[in-house]
Chains A and B, each alone.
Chain A
Amino acid sequence: MKLNSLLATLALSTALTLPGVAMARPVTLTTTLNNYGGDGAYLALYVTDASGAYVGSLWMAGGKSKYYEHLSDWYRATGGDTAQVNGITGASVGAGRRLEITLDLADALFDAGYTLHIDAAVEDMRDSPNEVAVPLVTDGAGTPVTGRRYIANFSYDM
């Protein structure tokens, strides 16, 4: 799934595209789900700063906001505010399928203590907040990380 990068840049909150910093680079986020034997998974991809505070959302896989409460960390951090994912929302991701998003991320997000989180939830199965938590560091690009329950591997490439 390729995302119009202009749209992504516009849609991301200013926190991720720090004011006055024009430097940004395209980053591809690849999430592959394992065969967990359930319906499509809802995934929230978002970033927290060094203190663990919510900074902004990168992507929401899953269109029905009534189910967002099951992405419990994201939901508590944002208060379930759908404005956080306006324009960066896509379909839920089926078991065994892959979600690939490319967006322009500000250089300042890297090597500065920011962490990328993925919350996952599947209907009638366990909620899995913080399924993945990876620090955003330039060296970490291309290194796959395994999720706790639903995500077989996740990696970001620049």
Chain B
Amino acid sequence: MIRTLHRWPGLLALALVTILSLSGAALSVFPVVERITAPQVETGLTVATLADRIQVVYPGVEQIRRSPSGRITAYWFDQGAPGAAVIDPATGAGVASADPNQTLRWLTNFHRSLFLGDGGRIAMAAGAAAMLVLSLSGAALVARRAGGWRHWFASLRGPFAGRLHVEIARIAVIGLVLSSTTALWMTASTFDLLPDGSVLPADPTDVSGEIGFALDQMATLLQTPVAELRELSFPYPGDATDVFTLKTDRGTGYLDQGTGALVAWADLTGWERVSETIYMLHTGQGAATLGLVLGMMALGVPAMGVTGVLIWLAGRRGRPRIRGNQPAGRAETIILVGSEGGSTWGFAATLHAALTAAGQGVHVGPMSGFAPERYARAERIILLAATYGDGAAPASAKGFLDRLNATDRAPDFPIAVLGFGDRSFPAYCAFAKDVTAAAKAKGWPELLPLDTIDRQSPQDFARWGRALGEMLGIPLDLAHQPVLPRTEQLTLVSRRNYGAEMQAGAAILRFALPSATPWQRLTGAGFARFQAGDLIGVLPQGSAVPRLYSLASGRRDGFVEIVVRKHPGGLASGQLTALEPGDTVRAFLRRNPGFHAGRGRTPLILIGAGTGLGPLAGFIRGNARHRPVHLFFGMRHADSDFFYGEEMPGWQAEGRLTRLVTAVSRGARRSYVQDALRADAAQVARLICDGARVMVCGGRDMATGVSDALAEILAPAGLTPAVLKAEGRYVEDVY
């Protein structure tokens, strides 16, 4: 709902809000310039002195105005000819033209009405309303995505366009809400919808009939500092019944020209004060710095427009049309999708196609459309469920749990739940787990136990597909690649072998940097920009499904390096470990910003086992600034898989690695990396309490063991791995 409220006003009003924000940003500069260039008023100067000075220079003066920036303008008639100038208050003489700035006038009219009169004003007000709706719905989305308002500035993960969109939004939203609400107020005021008109004092009935009282003797003017002045209008020459009209920050009054007495006064109304404050907040006139800040924030709008459209297009692309979708009542297999960004639909389409090819009648629909009474011929139901934010239901699964909990009894046909998520989030597949628990509670028979797909991993999905196929007695080959990026050819330049003699061969493979096109260099696309912790997807010959490997090097190292262990029967690992220098593979780069060492001086605790050392070694190699790094490394055998063992002493000597702790799992003293952590509990706890960041890379079991060990170690300090994860201080790259 909120997403719909964000998407459609955004796309429809894109042009309008872009025009509004760009012209608004340009306009925000003017008050600052005026503030800087306006001649300064000496402190304590009264209106009496100022008016007197001006009258000496311009005897025909009719009106003196002070703008919120402090600029003073006088208007006069000299022998029938009108004159006006910006006044230097020190002398009362004109120093600059008072003619309106034509650029400012053009921009102002463009900004408020597109030169289209009242119709244009209403259109621009609609633009401001759209901006307000976008800001509020967007803020709600950011909070939901971050897992609550308290995590407003939590670090972001995900595709670049989405991150940039949110990064800009969470800074700019305050300014945009302020600018758009004040714009709506001002429009309402312009169209007389607010009772904020000015109130003048009653006409003075009783004036002296005299003229010529000296300006610099008038008590009211002597008591009014120039800083409070807005306007002083002079009586008509020769009209003894006319009066001086004085407008200040407090109200309006009339002064007798024969006695100088204040003959009438009216205060500003509350509505007027509110409207004036709002005018100041919107235009920056009288609050130039704030105006400039709002203008800068408005500049974020075009960028958010572009990234917003990119996000929307990516979501559309990610949701394929499903060919030959059967009606729910006729299908044997029901696939329901709970997707937020749309990527899970792609998996559903692949599953639909494979099952249909195997002769099944298959229906695909959103989880929010769950209606078991309609599934007349269903033999099984498969839920593909992503998770949104901190464990919430994704957009297309809204209401599913309520509907399931409201049913009297679960359907007879069995259910399989497949969760989609990102292990680097604390609430990994939390919604899928909730759904599984709810189904169990209803006594719903299980077709397959809950399984999960990490970061859209095609391998995970293919593995789950084989399990499903075995269950159904049909061969099921799920080759799904969401969007296959353009691959590049990598040439092996060297390899280091480990443990080949122990039937568990592994190698550090170093490839030459592929040459980047000028466009790639400019945009940082592909291999033109990468760092340790990013991933490469390798396409083995004979398969369309890429395998992901963590990079042990960055672009600055001048090569592409990975650590690979040969798995029995593994297609990609078999081909990779068989490469000889000069051989090539096809691969693409996938960024993994959630698993970068990042800049800064906070200590790192790196924990890895086996080939998981790859990216961690990359961090250490790149640690030229001697950030404290503590490495806990688990291996099977020091002779077989102590990757980078040769470099470690050198890295320690150079200050790139502060401390190395190893654990060997197959030897005289069996020890896992989590045991090494426990043995070092006091120091680990102290480092983490002092702000150290934990980065874990390796197999799933190791990561679980590490998480358990850290939970024990941190319990006395009142910390948990979940809290650290939420703060972005505990990240995992697990396979």
Binding site for B on A (CB under 8 A): 37-39, 63-66, 69, 72, 75-76, 79-80, 91, 124-127, 130, 148-149
Contacts and interface: CB of A to CB of B under 8 A. Distances in A.
Contacts of B197: 65-66, 69, 80
A125 B63 contact: no
B75 interface: yes
A119 to B, nearest CB: 13
9 contacts: A37-B102, A39-B109, A63-B118, A66-B189, A125-B84, A126-B62, A127-B233, A130-B236, A148-B77
Contacts of A79: 200
Contacts of A149: 82
Given A37-B99, A69-B198, A76-B203, 11 more contacts: A38-B105, A63-B118, A65-B192, A66-B190, A66-B196, A69-B197, A72-B233, A75-B200, A80-B200, A124-B105, A127-B233
Interface string B183-207: 0000001111000111010010000
A120 to B, nearest CB: 11
B63 A126 contact: yes
Contact of A64 (B109, B192, B196): B192
Interface of B: 62-63, 75, 77, 80, 82, 84, 99-100, 102, 105, 109, 117-118, 189-192, 196-198, 200, 203, 233, 236, 245
Contacts of B82: 126, 148-149
A97 to B, nearest CB: 14
Nearest to B190: A64
Contacts of A127: 63, 233
A126 B118 contact: no
Nearest to A124: B100
A130 B203 CA distance: 17
A69 B200 contact: yes
B77 to A, nearest CB: 7
A37 B109 CA distance: 14
Contacts of B77: 148
Nearest to B275: A66
Given A75-B200, A76-B203, A66 B192 contact: yes
Contacts of B192: 64-66
Nearest to B101: A124
A38 B100 contact: yes
A94 to B, nearest CB: 11
A5 to B, nearest CB: 26
A39 B191 CA distance: 18
A72 B100 contact: no
A69 B233 CA distance: 13
Nearest to A150: B82
A39 B107 CA distance: 12
Query: Which 9 pairs, one residue from A and one from B, show the smallest C-beta to C-beta distance?
Result: A126-B75, A149-B82, A124-B100, A38-B100, A69-B198, A65-B192, A66-B197, A64-B190, A37-B99
Nearest to B80: A148
Nearest to B243: A76
Given A66-B192, A72-B245, A76-B203, A37 B100 contact: yes
Nearest to A122: B100
B110 to A, nearest CB: 12
Contacts of B198: 69
Contacts of A63: 118
B191 A64 contact: yes
Contacts of B118: 63
Contacts of A65: 192, 197
Nearest to B245: A72
A127 B75 CA distance: 9
B112 to A, nearest CB: 11
A37 to B, nearest CB: 6
A39 B63 contact: no
Contacts of A91: 117
Nearest to A52: B241
A130 B245 CA distance: 16
Nearest to B189: A66
A135 B245 CA distance: 27
Nearest to B104: A124
A77 to B, nearest CB: 8
A80 B77 CA distance: 27
B257 to A, nearest CB: 15
Contacts of B245: 72
A81 to B, nearest CB: 11
A39 B105 contact: yes
A148 B100 CA distance: 18
Contacts of A125: 84, 100
Nearest to B247: A69
A54 to B, nearest CB: 11
A37 B105 CA distance: 10
B87 to A, nearest CB: 13
Contacts of A38: 100, 105
Question: In this complex, which of B102, B109, B190, B197 has the most chain A Cβ atoms within 10 angstroms of its Cβ?
Answer: B197
Nearest to A66: B197
A103 to B, nearest CB: 24
A76 B200 contact: yes
Nearest to B63: A126
Contacts of A148: 77, 80, 82
Contacts of B100: 37-39, 124-125
Contacts of A126: 62-63, 75, 82, 84
A106 to B, nearest CB: 27
Contacts of B99: 37
Question: In this complex, which of A39, A65, A66, A91 has the most chain B Cβ atoms within 10 angstroms of its Cβ?
Answer: A66
A69 B102 CA distance: 24
Contacts of A76: 200, 203
A38 B84 CA distance: 14
Contacts of A80: 197, 200
Nearest to B76: A126
Nearest to A130: B236
A79 B233 CA distance: 18
Contacts of B117: 91
Contacts of A72: 233, 245
A80 B105 CA distance: 27
A75 B252 CA distance: 14
